[in-house]
Structure 1
């Protein structure tokens, strides 16, 4: 609504091209090194997604980089294949030898780069920039020029160098915010001023040192930039680059700029790149994170279940995601009912309340309740004996190094409270021995089978215990319990089975 009010003041381009630099700048992420095969696999997925240009690497850097560029070119992708090169002839020749469609050449222009890195004058840098563009165009290749550290370069000089490379035949100029120092209003101003004198498309390459790479990229588009450099998951040097998925979805849904992109593949691509690079995404990562479409708070879940748009700006399917209703201490009754309905689990109101209370209790203990946990808890509640002839009144266990495991159990049996303490080979065995000793006066019931399973990983996983108990007449009954405490789960499962047997005696 409010975006529409300010759009009329923007100089939005009709279309925006995406140059993906995951295979080049993304690979410069500390700790990331891609093989040729891995680059090929990522390139195929980028092409399937629909990016316009793939920066395949830096051919002059190594033979592996050259091989990767050649192999990617041989795939016959729809996307253009770009090679990075300094304004040095040796770099340009390395890229040209790979037969790339597109060369992105660069040289530092800021005072810092001129004085400390290049030790060159403004005139020398300008001359090298023009020569590089002319050399690329003499070979019939698309040329993009970057003034490295543009956002710390004096504007008059920056404008002069961009106009000079445009006159030399450059197809694109690129404005790199090399160390991510701009804020969106400054980026908007800079692109707007450059647009007054530059007639070829303007591209931007933003870094995320202050968390502003996406915002600066969008500010540039608002001022008329028609190409954005981005990486999958925002990979890149230091804090990374503008995130491809965030830029793309913002352009499409916030600015109504249509991209040639199959956005439903974004999550798959993100997860694929994360696995290959070993760089895991935080769960709250926008668009593609595990929690991007996850809801726990009762108010939010209720709204989403009634109409998804109340708490979701886009549909999860649009990016290949799925909506998740997360269970925990913030869970509301509507969320729990929705989950139970999803799994076809029908319950009485009392059973539902029991499950609800257990979910809340686990959440208060900091436990993340998974769908597997919920199903196990629900099955346990549904399978409980209808009548509690034997009830737990108290329980304690003692175990440790050089200590005989001992359990003390207090049960109410037919309204009579009894207590027993027994030892065992372990705390579970001791607890079951104590229960059997108390029940023996009522009926002879023994344990036939005992199974335990951790539902989810981790030391705080819920334990699901399943038992089969039998009496002297051959009556068998199953018992089940799901708890974070293995011993308590075992005790509850045994008592559940005992109650079922006593009901038929």
Structure 2
């Protein structure tokens, strides 16, 4: 909405090229190593998305890096395949030898790099940069030049070296914020002013040390940059690079820039790269995180169910995601009703209220109620006896490695309070024995089958208990209960079955 008011102040390009460096800078994520075969598989998915350039690696670094570039080249992808090289002939020769037709060459230009890393003066660095670009172009290869640590380089020198490599034939000028020190205002100023002096397309490569890589990339586009370096899931050195999925969706949906990308493959690509690298996607990760389109708060859920745009900037399907209604203590009745309708479960008002109260109670205990949990709770309530002849007034269990498991139960049977204490091989067995001893005075009902299942993983998973009880007359009934307490679930399931038998006797 408001972006339309300021678009005329921007120098937006018609389209933006995506230079993906997941296989190079992304692999430099601490602890990540991607094999040749894995690089091939990721490259295929990047090409399916439709990125313009895939930086396959650093061919001079190892035999494996060179082999990866060659193997990816054999795939005949639509994306251009790029290799990284320092401004050294041996690096460039290694990239040329791998067969690629796009070389990204770089050299440090900031005072820090000149003095401590390279131990070279400005003139020598400029000379090497020009020589490298000319050498690449002499071989008929696309050349992209980066002034490493550009954002800590004196502007006049940066402008001078960029103009020199442009004159040498560079096809793209890349501006790396190597250690992520820029803020959007200064990044925009830098690109605007470089753009006044350069005639070739400007590219940007932003790092996320202060969490500003995406923002800095976007303002660079506002200032006229027409290519953005990015990585899937924001992988990369230290805090990583600009997140490809965030950059892409911001450019398309917020700026209205046309890009020939299959955005519906983004979530699949993100999850695939996460599995390959072992770097998990945070649940709250924008665009692709598990919670990116998840809603719990009652007000939000109500709004989303009425019209998705009330609390979603884009539809989840655009990026290959799905909407999730999460149930917990903030959940409203409409969300639970919507979920039950989705499952085709119809409840009476009384039954629904029981399920609603259970969801709220579980939420207050810090439990997130999953779809499977809700189904089990609803099915448990649906299957309950319509009348309670035997009601639980209270029970307690004592167990451990010193005392034999003992359970005490207090039951209300047709208005008469009865209690019993029994032992068992465990707390569940003891509780069931105590119930059967009390009920046995009224009817001889015994446990015939007992099953328990954890609905979801974790120590706080809901336990679903299913039992079959029977009497000597051949009457049988099932009982079911779902709760986070195994003993309580067992007690409720047994009493449910007992009540059903007593009703039909």
Q: Does TM, normalized by the shorter one, top 0.5?
A: yes
Matched residue, 1:49: 49
Matched residue, 1:397: 397
Any idea what SS the aligned residue of 2:386 has?
coil
Matched residue, 2:433: 433
User: For the residues of structure 1 that align with 2:172 and 2:427, how far apart are their CA atoms?
Assistant: 73
Any idea what SS the aligned residue of 1:350 has?
helix
Q: TM-score, normalised by structure 2?
A: 1.00
Q: CA deviation at 1:494?
A: 0.1
Any idea what SS the aligned residue of 1:322 has?
coil
Q: CA deviation at 1:423?
A: 0.8
The equivalences for 1:225-264 within 5 A come to 225-264=225-264
Matched residue, 1:334: 334
Moved more, 419-428 or 321-330: 419-428
Any idea what SS the aligned residue of 1:400 has?
coil
Matched residue, 2:80: 80
User: For the residues of structure 1 that align with 2:424 and 2:184, how far apart are their CA atoms?
Assistant: 69
The equivalences for 1:1-80 within 5 A come to 1-80=1-80
Matched residue, 2:319: 319
1:209 partnered with 2:184: no
Q: CA deviation at 1:260?
A: 1.5
Deviations 1:77-121 (A, max 9, x none): 000000000000000000000111200000000000000000000
1:171 partnered with 2:171: yes
1:275 partnered with 2:275: yes
Matched residue, 2:420: 420
User: For the residues of structure 1 that align with 2:260 and 2:212, how far apart are their CA atoms?
Assistant: 25
The equivalences for 1:258-407 within 5 A come to 258-407=258-407
Q: CA deviation at 1:133?
A: 0.3
Any idea what SS the aligned residue of 2:60 has?
helix
Matched residue, 1:504: 504
User: For the residues of structure 2 that align with 1:319 and 1:476, how far apart are their CA atoms?
Assistant: 52
Gaps of 5+ in 1: none
User: For the residues of structure 1 that align with 2:183 and 2:15, how far apart are their CA atoms?
Assistant: 23
1:120 partnered with 2:91: no
Matched residue, 1:156: 156
User: For the residues of structure 1 that align with 2:187 and 2:137, how far apart are their CA atoms?
Assistant: 29
User: For the residues of structure 1 that align with 2:126 and 2:77, how far apart are their CA atoms?
Assistant: 34
Matched residue, 2:478: 478
Counting matched residue pairs gives 505
User: For the residues of structure 1 that align with 2:11 and 2:344, how far apart are their CA atoms?
Assistant: 52
The equivalences for 1:97-136 within 5 A come to 97-136=97-136
Any idea what SS the aligned residue of 1:403 has?
coil
Deviations 1:291-348 (A, max 9, x none): 0000000000000000000000000000000000000000000100000001000000
User: For the residues of structure 2 that align with 1:156 and 1:363, how far apart are their CA atoms?
Assistant: 60
User: For the residues of structure 2 that align with 1:45 and 1:425, how far apart are their CA atoms?
Assistant: 55
User: For the residues of structure 1 that align with 2:353 and 2:429, how far apart are their CA atoms?
Assistant: 31
Q: TM-score, normalised by structure 1?
A: 1.00
User: For the residues of structure 2 that align with 1:99 and 1:141, how far apart are their CA atoms?
Assistant: 10
User: For the residues of structure 2 that align with 1:204 and 1:180, how far apart are their CA atoms?
Assistant: 12
Matched residue, 1:409: 409
User: For the residues of structure 2 that align with 1:25 and 1:280, how far apart are their CA atoms?
Assistant: 17
CA RMSD of aligned residues (A): 0.4
Q: CA deviation at 1:425?
A: 1.1
Any idea what SS the aligned residue of 1:179 has?
coil
Matched residue, 2:186: 186
Q: CA deviation at 1:209?
A: 0.1
User: For the residues of structure 2 that align with 1:219 and 1:92, how far apart are their CA atoms?
Assistant: 32
Q: CA deviation at 1:402?
A: 2.2
